[in-house]
A and B are shown apart, each in its own frame.
Chain A
Amino acid sequence: MTSQVVLQAIISGILMGLIYALIAAGLSLIFGLMEIVNFAHGDHLMVSMFSAFWFWMLFGIDPIYSIPLTILVMATLGVATHYFIIRKILNSTMLVQICATFGLAVAIRALAQFFFTPDFRTIKNPIIQGKFEISGIFIGQPQLYASLVCLIAFILLYLFVTKTETGTALQATAQDRQAAEILGIPSNKMFALGWAIGLSCVAVAGSMLSNFYYVFPDVGVNFSLFAFVAVALGGFGSITGSLIAGIIIGIVESVGGLLIDPSFKLLYVFAVYLFVVIVRPQGIFGRY
């Protein structure tokens, strides 16, 4: 085993990690805002991948161009989710909140299986395809562009949350709902906005994934598990935390798969989660 192979694994890990990071950022944003873990997050990712797939299949729009449309679809879905379900369980116990988002996950996945069948689909001949080589290290174009787009989306998200007035209002609501309301920030609208943004992150990640990943109803399961790990690792509610955690997970997955045994890839990531929550329950960048 040469160092080149390891380097190859690290680079592929970082590229995937940036995608995980964006998915996790959406989850983390929603959790930070209202302390609800969206257990349907992976299934929302699946919906966004199918959205990109159908825009390509029916209208011939390449996934890279359909990103704004998919964002629109997912943001609408997010606002609807908040309006019809989340809004009503905000003050319920944690168990009820878990069950409601789990029920949503089960329903979305089953609907996808019912309407789209469990077949694996791919987008044929997307604009971004192929791979290139830099001194013996192969980089897939779709992976590279996916990670770049995710990184850009991530930076935009970060700038939005920290620099704009609406973003600061979001942060205020996350810190103290009542105090924010006294200052005239409508928390209900902020929550809806949080869901819209959270699922928009997923929309970007899903569109880019659909370039090189199979699209099928169960596709979101592993991504959502990695997102949970990333969020716990980075600290629930910390957006920068989820970037670093996402990259760590990507590297652990691909280097662990290379050095030990690729069939146990999932377990290395899970081991990282268990290690972190047992040793440092608030995560690396967690507030509490």
Chain B
Amino acid sequence: MTYEPSEAKIISVKKYAEDVKLFKVKTKINPLPGQFFQLSILGIGECPLASCSYNKKYADVLVKNSGSVTNTLFNLKKGDGVFIRGPYGRGYNFKEIEGKNLVLAAGGTGIAPVASLIDYIEQNRKNFGEIKILFGFKDESFILLGDRIERWKKKFDFTLCLDKYAGKLKYEVGLLPDILKKKKINSENTCGVLCGPEIMMKSATAKLNSVGIKNDKIYWNMERRMECAAGSCGRCLIQDLYTCKDGPVFRYDIIKEKLENESAK
């Protein structure tokens, strides 16, 4: 496999928060929901990212300014070129989640792959049962994809959670897993789809377990530093599993023990 990327033009840039922008990039790589690609800027480097839309014409790259590549990307404008290779990895397993009720819970820029899945669900609504969505953000100024959230609110059981919010009524206030705990969840024929910091996914998993959704019905979207995206460089190994090839979406029962082993003191 070659590590050589192709050039792709930025179609538009939208700022959502102080350190988060959405770059619409023209590309035909068409990643499936949950798959990722390597986005790079020549002279700076590559970073693995997921599209938050599902379509054949462009990738929607929701980027938090948190490293050298994203920092440079933040200075780019409409018409500028970036480089892309992909798509890579296994996204959401439709064989396992279609025909099911879904609880989708994601936080911060972790909403990106989940938003792509919601796109897919909108396009194939009859293939899914009840959809319950929870998105969590730090505060009102950090709400991402607000325009699309307004649309989803009309179509799905959608809860917007803010860690901090002084007002009332508009949002639920508190950490996402705590708000998830208050929700009534029908466990029958239901899968959980999670993306965010591991500590958030862990407590959300505990809640889903407590209502009877087992680990083999819960999907974690893992963040690791994929360098080659070909199962060669070893950077993204979670014990014997490559995040870039076997993931980044994993069934939790498959990676639970491996994650516990790796984080042991």
A binds B: no
